[in-house]
Amino acid sequence: MRIAVIGTGNVGSALGRRWADAGHEIIFGSRDPASDKVQALLRSIGHNARVVSAGEAMAGADVIVLATAWSAVQPTLAAGGDLTGKIIIDATNPFLPGLILAVGHTTSAGEQVAAWALGARVVKAFNSTGAGNMADPVYAGVQPTMFICGDDASAKATVADLTGQIGFEPVDAGPLSLARVLEPLAALWVNLAYSQGMGPNIAFKLLQR
Ligand SMILES: NC(=O)c1ccc[n+]([C@@H]2O[C@H](COP(=O)([O-])OP(=O)(O)OC[C@H]3O[C@@H](n4cnc5c(N)ncnc54)[C@H](OP(=O)(O)O)[C@@H]3O)[C@@H](O)[C@H]2O)c1
């Protein structure tokens, strides 16, 4: 599958590396493809990955992963042109300083992405755990839960498959409006990791009986 990963920071680099290792074609979208940082990332991945502008990356992709600061999402999507039919994985969290959500309660970043990328099939995923878990998810043989949500069943099935391929247990939380609770869940993870002192080696697991 051809996956455009927009953003080459903590989340983008971790997910791009894992999916390149799984055999997918990764096209990173970066503001500065020639930068030392981005070129070093490509060298360290070593295979199945290249970098272009965000607009070019999105144009040729089956799946687009949004892994930028929330403030960059709208201009990034605008650079992608017509995204009709494409699957967008929205991994962003609309955090302001102090873990305050810039949007929430009656809408969400995920729903806002869907409004900006008209016709695209948006799935919220990978927002509610740390980038370190994306790089190395499994805890003593146990796969963490990755909650996903979206309004398009086939897009969710594709994202669930991609999620499972890199070591998470995907759980379908429902329609895209469930991003309203998955985005605050990310705030809980960050609070536990960094304010409560548990550190980033923590992950959520859904139990069922
Ligand atoms: N860090 C985590 O553990 C984590 C976990 C889950 C979700 N998230 C969410 O995922 C998103 C990315 O987080 P991150 O930690 O990967 O961030 P990051 O390390 O700061 O990387 C974000 C990347 O976005 C790109 N970008 C494009 N336009 C930008 C702009 N105007 N300002 C800043 N960066 C811009 C940059 O790549 P180029 O320089 O190549 O353009 C940058 O490296 C955020 O929305 C965050 O809330 C983070």
Contact predicate 120/153, CB 8 Å: no
In the prediction, which pLDDT does 34 show? 98
- CA-to-CA distance for 164 and 162, rounded, in angstroms? 5
- CA-to-CA distance for 196 and 191, rounded, in angstroms? 6
**Bridge partner residues of 122 (DSSP):** 88
In the prediction, which pLDDT does 7 show? 98
In the prediction, which pLDDT does 32 show? 98
10-residue mean pLDDT series, the chain (209 residues): 98 98 98 98 97 97 98 97 97 96 96 98 98 98 98 98 98 98 98 98 98
- What spacing in Å lies between the alpha carbon of 77 and ligand 1's midpoint? 14
Tokens 């199945």 map to which residue? 48
Compute how many other C-beta atoms are within 10 angstroms of the C-beta atom of residue 6.
31
In the prediction, which pLDDT does 92 show? 98
In the prediction, which pLDDT does 168 show? 98
Name every protein residue with a CB atom under 6 angstroms from any ligand 1 atom: 7-12, 30-32, 38, 67-70, 72, 91-93, 95, 127, 130-131, 186
The string of DSSP codes covering 93-130 is: --EETTTEESS-SS--HHHHHHHHSTT-EEEE-S-SS-
pTM over 0.95: yes
Q: Which residue from 15, 31, 45, 68 has its CB within 8 A of the most atoms of ligand 1, so it is best to mutate? A: 68
- What spacing in Å lies between the alpha carbon of 70 and ligand 1's midpoint? 8
Question: Which numbered atom of ligand 1 lies nearest the CA of 31?
Answer: 41
- CA-to-CA distance for 176 and 111, rounded, in angstroms? 6
Estimate to the nearest angstrom the gap between the alpha carbon of 138 and the chain centroid. Answer: 18
Q: What is the DSSP letter of 70?
A: G
Q: Which residue from 5, 11, 51, 136 has its CB within 8 A of the most atoms of ligand 1, so it is best to mutate? A: 11
Question: Which numbered atom of ligand 1 lies nearest the CA of 33?
Answer: 40
Cα distances (angstroms) measured from residue 65 to each of 9, 58, 98, 133, 194: 12, 9, 25, 17, 25
- What spacing in Å lies between the alpha carbon of 147 and ligand 1's midpoint? 20
In the prediction, which pLDDT does 177 show? 98
Say which amino acid occupies 78: A
What are the residue ranges of helices labelled H in the chain? 10-21, 36-45, 54-59, 73-79, 109-116, 131-135, 153-165, 179-190
In the prediction, which pLDDT does 199 show? 98
- What spacing in Å lies between the alpha carbon of 208 and ligand 1's midpoint? 33
Compute how many other C-beta atoms are within 10 angstroms of the C-beta atom of residue 78.
12
**Widest distance between CA atoms in the chain:** 51
